Structure 1
Amino acid sequence: MNRFAQGSFAAAALLLVLAGCKKDGQQDVVTATPEQVATPVETAPGAAPVNLSDVIEHTPSYVVGISYPPAAAKYPGLAQELTSYAEHAKAELLKAASELGNDKPTAPYELSLSFDMLTDTPKVVAVSADGSSYTGGAHGQPLVARFVWLPEQQKLLKAEDLINTAKGWQAVSDYVEDKLLEQATVRAQGEELSPEEQQEQVRNLSRMIDEGTAPEPANFSQFQPVLDAAGHISALRFVFPPYQVGPYSDGTQFVDVPAAALLPNVAADYRELFSRN
């Protein structure tokens, strides 16, 4: 069937795919043990519930499919962050569709966005957002985001708060850049290229990697925790959408930075979240 087929079947199929697929590199959901949930986490006083209903919309000009994890609804602040992200993506799509006027696109514009619960414990909750927004051209614009919620503090954990020194971001940058270059070299070696062509490919990628991993919090804003059996963060998985550290064809890339490499530079308020092993 054509990827941009019109009608309710296309929209329903889109949502089913969003709900059922699991992205490469995504960890299984980590939930609290019975001991960890002995004391329920309370929501912020006066926090209004947020509706996390899945969205299916279709017109001759556009198709929208958005899916949410029901478990996120018990954290109103987090739920608000998710819906705000989705609403912004949808508004951008509708704006592009409205600019068509009376013209009809060769294929309907399309927003496909799936939020998935990665981690759900009393101290750390993490949700991924993956999808794309198609408004013409060869392919859609990737949508990649990660939301790390701290239930006890009722706030998002942001990169600039987690590490708040230039020295700390330089250390993260150096570690991640080295790992991405290793990955790029392995990919080049797996292709049918001469040694000279492999070296040229890695050189070209190294420029993108160097720019995309410059020691600034904005370059590392998308991350998700990797937890050990005790529920502590054993590593942070930094997530890089297409175009940040490589071409679209390389897809979303990941680098896990172990807690041991992070802890010397993590702000004091968040060190207790990390594994000491």
Structure 2
Amino acid sequence: MRPHLLITVALCALTLISCSRKDEAHKDEGPPVAAAPLSFSRPTPDAEVALTFPETVRAFPELHNRLYAEGQGDLNAFVDQAARDRKELSAAGSEAPPYFRSITWTLPAQSEHLASLYAEQSEFTGGAHPNASYQTVLWDKAAKQAIDAHLLFAPNADLSHADAFLCRQIEAERSRRNETPTTQTATGFTCPKLIDSHLALVPSTTSGKIGAVEALFAPYEVGPYAEGAYQIRVPQAVLRGLISPAYAADFAGEPVAATAPSAP
């Protein structure tokens, strides 16, 4: 066989091997995962439930799909439990109003390495009033995984100054709402620890940066139900030197203007 024919055959063989390897690689990857919807609802005679996400969550499909699956499963279980509860109450001669539960996700801020999401959850299963709670997620964009709030801070960071700042801000907000100076001790509630709170990130006046960490407290967590929810900001300047080196560069500037928390 002529030399140029040998070269041609060899090149064709290499091409076929390369294509075969690419085909195998794509086969291993499998089909792309379908994006979850931005909302879910299931109204029944016994309960009404709703789950909603902002459009911006589509940038994080792994997280979006996980939160949607978890939320849908939770709400379906809630509807099924409502049917059982109301059937038992009806058999006992008591007519309970329909239950409801809603989960509303918000993506308030993101930076180069982090994205922050939180959910406001409202639920009614009878009683004098609905109950409210928060759920928060800090998402490492490079690792594509949620991180514990403890990992936001440097190892062995002394957060006592930030904790004291947080408590003073709660007292200041309570005093403003009550139109009279009121300390945390006087209410019978203890001062919370920042690291144990539901934490969300607040965008900065400096583009692409985080300006504050916001601690979210549902009614009853730091005060009586009548006072409602508390959303207390701790500016990044207060946390300087306490943020983990992995995320320290994401914090700068002043937090953007605050909005009032939802009513209970």
Q: Check whether TM > 0.5.
A: yes
Q: Pairwise CA RMSD of aligned residues?
A: 2.8
Alignment check: 8 A CA contact 1:49 1:73 kept: no
What's the secondary structure of 2:121's corresponding residue?
Answer: strand
Q: Does the residue aligned with 2:238 lie in a helix, a strand or coil?
A: helix
Change over 3 Å in CA distance of 1:163–1:95 after alignment to 2: farther
Question: Which of 42, 51, 57 pairs up with 1:72?
Answer: 57
1:214 corresponds to 2:183: no
Q: Is the 8 A contact 2:110 2:203 kept in 1?
A: no
Q: For each residue in 1:2-38, what CA deviation from the matched residue of structure 2 results, as whole angstroms up to 9, or x when unmatched?
A: xxxxxxxxxxxxxxxxxxxxxxxxxxxxxxxxxxxxx
Partner residue of 1:131? 121
- Flag structure 1 segments of 5+ consecutive residues without an equivalent: 1-44, 191-197
Letter in 2 for 1:236: V
2:198 partner amino acid:
S
Number of equivalences: 220
Letter aligned with residue 149 of structure 2: A
Deviation at 1:78, TM superposition (A): 1.9
**Rounded Cα–Cα distance in structure 2 between residues aligned with 1:84 and 1:246:** 33
- 1:271 maps to 248
2:135 matched to 1:145? yes
For structure 2, list consecutive stretches of 5 or more residues without a partner in the other structure: 1-28, 255-264
Does the CA contact (< 8 Å) of 1:123 and 1:152 recur in 2?
Answer: yes
- Structure 1 residue ranges (4+ consecutive) displaced by more than 6 angstroms after TM superposition: none
Residue 251 of structure 1 aligns with an amino acid whose one-letter code is G
Which amino acid in structure 2 is aligned with residue 214 of structure 1?
K
Q: Residues 122 and 265 (structure 1 numbering): CA distance in 2 closer, same or farther, change over 3 Å? A: closer
Say if 1:221 and 1:88 are closer, same or farther in 2 by CA, change over 3 A: farther
Pair 177,88 (structure 1): closer, same or farther in 2 beyond 3 Å: farther
1:229 is aligned to: 206
Task: State the match for 1:204 in structure 2.
Answer: 186
Give the residue type in structure 2 aligned to 1:77.
Answer: E
Match of 2:219 in 1: 242
- Equivalent position of 2:45 in the other structure: 60
8 Å contact kept, 2:199–2:213: no
Deviation at 1:51, TM superposition (A): 1.1
User: Quick check: 2:112–2:250 contact (8 Å CA) kept in 1?
Assistant: no
**SS, match of residue 159 in structure 2:** helix
Whole-Å separation in 1 of the counterparts to 2:160 and 2:253 = 22
User: What percent identity do the matched residue pairs reach?
Assistant: 18
| 8 Å CA contact retained: 2:134, 2:198 | no
1:151–1:202 CA distance, 2 compared to 1 (3 A): closer
Q: Does the 8 A contact of 1:62 with 1:97 survive in 2?
A: yes
Larger radius of gyration: 2
